[in-house]
Amino acid sequence: MEYRTGDVIGAYRLLEQCGKGSFSQVFLAENLFSGQTVALKLLMGTGKAMQKELARLIRFRSCRHPNLLPILHIDKVDNRLYYTMPPADNLTPGEGYSADTLAHRLSSRGPLPASEVMAMTVELLAGLKELHRHKLMHRNIKPDNILWLNRQAVLADVGLVRNHADAGACGSPGFMPEDV
């Protein structure tokens, strides 16, 4: 089942679709009780796949670090798993939402200044270090999965985060090493 703007998922009204992948939909959503705006990711998959994803989300959620996108809430609706996160910077109510990702910055501004690249790299490496400390790997680092939250670079898209022991070849074409 595909969800659309205006649908209600648990305590959240879907405001605007801001992403869609092979296995998920991402919406800007509003909590009906608190009024808080969040990014809500609906995952496709059932049974064992959903249970594995839930275990990964819970494990990732325990990695609290300023350079890893925090997971605020995890739940199920219509037998589909969903979770909420803070929206990336660039949220302007009523004007449409274009998340502040590295992909967006590169397409709108072109190459970034070296100082900005260095600062972003240091922040992302700190987030990766925290993942590795928990014996987790990201496996899909690409411009769309690097965003800014409170003016800090953070790694997003935990869907491909895996335990070191379970990690096999995976990722996005064009961003994986050629030998994988």
User: Residue 31: is it exposed, middle or buried by C-beta count within 10 angstroms (0-12/13-18/19+)?
Assistant: middle
175: which DSSP letter? S
The amino acid at 72: L
User: 39 and 27 in contact (C-beta within 8 Å)?
Assistant: yes
Cα 125 → chain centroid? 17
Q: What's the CA gap between 53 and 67, in Å, rounded?
A: 21
For residue 106, what pLDDT is reported?
Answer: 96
Low-confidence ranges of the chain (pLDDT < 70): 92-95, 159-180
CB atoms within 10 A of CB 69: 21
Roughly how many angstroms between the first and final C-alpha of the chain, as a whole number?
A: 33
C-alpha dihedral (123, 125, 127, 130), degrees to nearest 10: -140
For residue 164, what pLDDT is reported?
Answer: 52
* pLDDT tens, position by position, 6-52: 999 999 999 999 888 778 899 999 999 999 999 999 998 778 888 88
What does pTM read for this prediction?
Answer: 0.83
For residue 92, what pLDDT is reported?
Answer: 64
Closest CA to 83 of 146, 16, 177, 12: 12
For residue 175, what pLDDT is reported?
Answer: 47
Q: What is the token pair recorded at 72? A: 């605020």
For residue 140, what pLDDT is reported?
Answer: 85
Q: What is the CA radius of gyration of the chain?
A: 16
Domains of the chain: 8-88+98-166 (1.10.510.10)
For residue 98, what pLDDT is reported?
Answer: 80
For residue 165, what pLDDT is reported?
Answer: 55
112: which DSSP letter? P
Q: What are phi and psi of 20, to 5 degrees?
A: -150, 130
